[in-house]
Amino acid sequence: MAKTKEMTNNNLLEVKDLKISFKTDEGIITAVDGIKFSVKRGQTLGIVGESGSGKSVSTWSIMRLLPKNSIIDKKSSIKFQQKSGKVVEITKFKSNSRELREIRGGEVALIFQEPMSSFSPVYTIGNQIMEAVLQHRDVTKEEAQEIAIDMLDRVGISNPAQRFKQYPFELSGGMRQRAMIAVALSMNPSLLIADEPTTSLDVTIQAQILELMNELQEELGMSIIFITHNLGVIAQVADEIEVMYLGKILERGTTNDIIHEPQHPYTQALLKAIPRLDTIGERLTAISGDIPSPLSRPIGCPFYTRCEKVMPGICDVKMPEPTQLSDTHTVYCFLYEEKNV
Amino acid sequence: MSDTLLEIKDLKVYFPIRRKNLFSGVTQYVKAVDGVSFHIEKGETLGLVGESGSGKTTVGRSILRAIEPTAGKVTFNVDGETIDLSTLLDKELRVFRKNMQLIFQDPYSSLNPRMTVRDIIAEPIVAQKLAKGDEVDERVREAAALCKLNLEFLRRFPHAFSGGQRQRIGIARALVSRPQFIVCDESVSALDVSIQAEILNLLMDLQKEFGFTFLFIAHDLSVVAHISKRVAVMYLGQLVELAPTEDLFYTPKHPYTEALMSAIPEVDPNQEMNPVNLSGEIPSPINPPSGCRFHTRCPYVQDICKTDEPKWEEIEEKHFVTCHFANTLTLKGAKMPPSVDAA
């Protein structure tokens, strides 16, 4: 492996030129097309995008949890700083290597959308948390049990010692989601990937889970990548937001940049399409057309087929280069590129 | 009331479950819906919200008698006649069904993959023998055009379509029998934001043009607020509050509604969320709590709440609530969003 390089800017994770394709019967589908992002220590990066935007694929690749028919392009780079301070290149590992197993769970943890199907139904909750702890921490069984019960308590599950002995079906949806967060956090990861963690939950429970994640982040100082399609949720949790569409990042900035001064036509349209409480009864501004099929991706800017401000002959030829609007705010759109020239 | 389309009185739906006892099987009931009454006016959209397990879907389905209600009365006022749905025989019900339709949640599993789009849309009128021969095609095309579906699509199969287009097919199928009343059960929840906006617009346009009446069931509060004229809040099989949308959102009178409103994520990062924390979990509908059903989780609970069931009262014009202290509590509503500054 190449010499370990230091990370810039207090970054925990640096992803460059990430390109992931899938071999399918209908041909090769490129789900993520040359994206670049980084996650700072102790911060939350929000990734917003509609279905098929590649938000899950790009982050699951950090743990190399992609199906067998996936191809990570040779030029892709995912650099991650381990707890020991060593910087590793995740794309270089074999998918079943010991190094990778250590990172999965121990350094990077994942919580999914469906609390129903992410636990094994035949083991108790406690058993499943303990298993994770024993894998990644050098502790005895008794200590692992203590850690597990303590974690269940921390995520706000009442009566943790009793819940420890229960099976997943005995817990409600909100509790199971908390239990999953407990599993993820019991290994003390430095990066938590939350893939739509509150999507299937009721608003009241969603609010509790978001609060809990904020608290735990402050306490444990971990970084979070938060994936969702709900802009309201992301505005509450993220420090930085990245907007993805069809495998490309279209805009990146601080939460304030994106929510208050969105520049890309897609981000603007997305924000206008959300029903808000002050527009009761009015027509919503929909984005016309459908998301193109990944098999027939548009050439150029992926959004041009639905964009109101499309410039024929420019947008449909090549992907725009990033334009730096401020220190924190970057947009990929020809509207702004021209102004700079 | 002359402009009432639908009236529901004391609707109850109990599902029997058998608990194996050592000596005898005791039958207990899951009280999914336990005494719900409301009415819907012609051309109005009534929103119905509540947590999962509150019984909102069961209300929608039992109005259509897709689930047989245990007790209660559902009456329709159609063409000057008042029809009591609960007394209709199966045959009569089948004839009446053309007046009411259901739009489902999941556009992926609610369309039969082996039928062409034309056959899917035509099914209600074919099954009810409302049209024959060319008339079927004509009505299918009319419904498809209303939902802005390309007529060339009619020969294709559902797999060729995206989520938004599939949901349009589902809506076209609901419209083809020219119903008066449509239940939308989480009809936009599975769609992406940009597509969701389009379908909501479509539903609102169709309502304006043809005067459809909707019962709109959803858990996304801002979507419900957007489309509904009045909103009802359900908790554990009962309505706790019903009011015109803005009154309900900005001046709620029930502590549960307040908790729901406080939990709506704000799209403004500078506004701090202060969700009311409801302690505990939603209790089991097999043995609902005594007195007010919400008392186990209510932050304002008093002794009376544990023993006496509060009445369903109209405390302001058109604002109904079941709470002993509806008049004395000052509750916070949803935050008024600041003026929009999206470019």
For residue A219, how many other CB atoms are within 10 A of its CB?
Answer: 10
Please, are residues B266 and B335 in contact by the beta-carbon 8 Å criterion? Answer: yes
Q: Contact B277/A158, CB-based, under 8 Å?
A: no
Q: State the pLDDT at residue B179.
A: 92
pLDDT higher for A249 or A296?
A: A249
E-only strand ranges, B236-312: 238-244
Chain B residues in contact with A260 by the CB 8 A cut-off are 268, 341-342
Distance CA B43, CA B56 (A): 21
Q: Contact B226/A271, CB-based, under 8 Å?
A: no
Radius of gyration of chain B (CA): 21
Q: How far is A50 from chain B (nearest CA, A)?
A: 6
Residue B337 at interface with chain A, using a CB cutoff of 8 Å: yes
Q: State the pLDDT at residue A116.
A: 67
Distance CA A180, CA A198 (A): 12
Tell me: the pLDDT tens digits for B43-64? 999 999 988 888 899 999 999 9
pLDDT tens, position by position, for chain B (343 residues)? 458 999 999 999 999 887 666 666 677 888 999 999 999 999 999 999 988 888 899 999 999 999 999 999 999 988 788 899 888 888 888 888 889 999 988 888 889 999 999 999 999 999 888 888 899 999 999 999 989 888 888 999 998 888 888 999 999 999 999 899 999 998 888 788 888 888 899 999 999 999 999 999 998 888 999 999 999 999 999 999 999 999 999 999 999 999 999 888 877 877 777 888 787 777 888 888 999 999 999 999 999 999 999 999 999 999 999 999 998 888 888 876 544 443 3
Q: Contact A210/B269, CB-based, under 8 Å?
A: no
Residue A26 at interface with chain B, using a CB cutoff of 8 Å: no
Q: State the pLDDT at residue A106.
A: 84
Buried b (16+ CB within 10 A) or exposed e, B277-312: ebeebbbebeebeebbbbbbbbeebeeebeeeebeb
- Best of A48, A196, A200, A204 to substitute, by most chain B Cβ atoms within 10 angstroms, is A204
Residue B277 at interface with chain A, using a CB cutoff of 8 Å: yes
Please, are residues A289 and A245 in contact by the beta-carbon 8 Å criterion? Answer: no
Chain B residues in contact with A269 by the CB 8 A cut-off are 194
Distance CA A263, CA B166 (A): 31
Please, are residues A304 and A245 in contact by the beta-carbon 8 Å criterion? Answer: no
Could you say which of A204, A263, A275 has the minimum Cβ distance to residue B259? Answer: A204
CA angle centred on A311, ends A310 and A316, rounded to 5°: 85
Please, are residues A331 and A263 in contact by the beta-carbon 8 Å criterion? Answer: yes
Q: Contact A286/B270, CB-based, under 8 Å?
A: no
Instruction: Say yes or no to pLDDT of A341 above 70.
Output: no
Three-state DSSP at B13 gives: strand
Instruction: Say yes or no to pLDDT of A2 above 60.
Output: no
Distance CA A18, CA A328 (A): 21
Lowest model confidence (mean pLDDT) among A2-16, A78-92, A320-334, B20-34: A2-16
Structure tokens at A94: 């074999």
Q: What are phi and psi of B248, to 5 degrees?
A: -65, -40
What's the predicted TM-score (pTM) here? 0.85
Q: Considering only alpha carbons, which residue of chain B is nearest residue A241?
A: B269
Q: State the pLDDT at residue A339.
A: 59
Q: Evaluate the CA torsion angle B209, B214, B218, B223 in order and state its sign.
A: positive
Buried b (16+ CB within 10 A) or exposed e, B139-167: bbbebbebbebeeebbeebbeebbbbbbb
Q: What DSSP line would sit under A185-211, residue for residue?
A: HHT--SEEEEESTTTTS-HHHHHHHHH
Distance CA B83, CA B65 (A): 14
Structure tokens at B234: 């359900």
Q: How many CB pairs under 8 A join A and B?
A: 147
Beta bridge partners of B39: B7
Q: How far is B192 from chain A (nearest CA, A)?
A: 6
For B26-162, where are the alpha helices, taking DSSP H only? 56-63, 90-96, 117-127, 134-146
Predicted complex ipTM: 0.80
Segment A116-142 shows an average pLDDT of 88
Distance CA A194, CA A69 (A): 24
- Best of A203, A283, A293 to substitute, by most chain B Cβ atoms within 10 angstroms, is A203
First to last CA, chain B: 46
Q: State the pLDDT at residue B267.
A: 79
Segment A80-91 shows an average pLDDT of 90
Interface list for A 155-194 with B (CB within 8 A): 158, 172-175
Q: State the pLDDT at residue B1.
A: 45
Three-state DSSP at B325 gives: coil
- Best of A178, A254, A284, A336 to substitute, by most chain B Cβ atoms within 10 angstroms, is A284
Instruction: Say yes or no to pLDDT of A25 above 90.
Output: no
Question: Which amino acid is located at A105 in the chain?
Answer: G
Q: Contact A235/B269, CB-based, under 8 Å?
A: yes
Tell me: the pLDDT tens digits for A188-214? 899 999 998 887 778 888 888 888 888
**Sequence-ordered list of residues with C-beta below 8 angstroms from that of B24, at least 6 positions apart, any chain:** none
What separation in angstroms does the CA of B3 have from each of B8, B42, B76, B213?
A: 15, 6, 11, 11
Lowest model confidence (mean pLDDT) among A62-76, A183-197, A271-285: A271-285
Distance CA B342, CA A329 (A): 16
Residue A275 at interface with chain B, using a CB cutoff of 8 Å: yes
Q: State the pLDDT at residue B149.
A: 87
Instruction: Say yes or no to pLDDT of A39 above 90.
Output: yes
Q: For tokens 């076209």, what's the residue?
A: B172
Residue A97 at interface with chain B, using a CB cutoff of 8 Å: no
- Nearest alpha-carbon partner for B169 in B158, B180, B159: B158
Q: State the pLDDT at residue B72.
A: 92
Interface list for A 57-86 with B (CB within 8 A): none
Structure tokens at A341: 């020239």
pLDDT higher for A218 or B282?
A: A218
Distance CA B63, CA B65 (A): 5
Distance CA B186, CA A8 (A): 46
Average pLDDT, chain A: 87
**Sequence-ordered list of residues with C-beta below 8 angstroms from that of B146, at least 6 positions apart, any chain:** B172, B175, B206
Q: State the pLDDT at residue B109.
A: 85
For residue B208, how many other CB atoms are within 10 A of its CB?
Answer: 10
Could you say which of B163, B269, B281 has the minimum Cβ distance to residue A259? Answer: B269
Please, are residues B76 and B181 in contact by the beta-carbon 8 Å criterion? Answer: yes
**Paired sense of beta strands B181-185 and B213-217, if any:** parallel
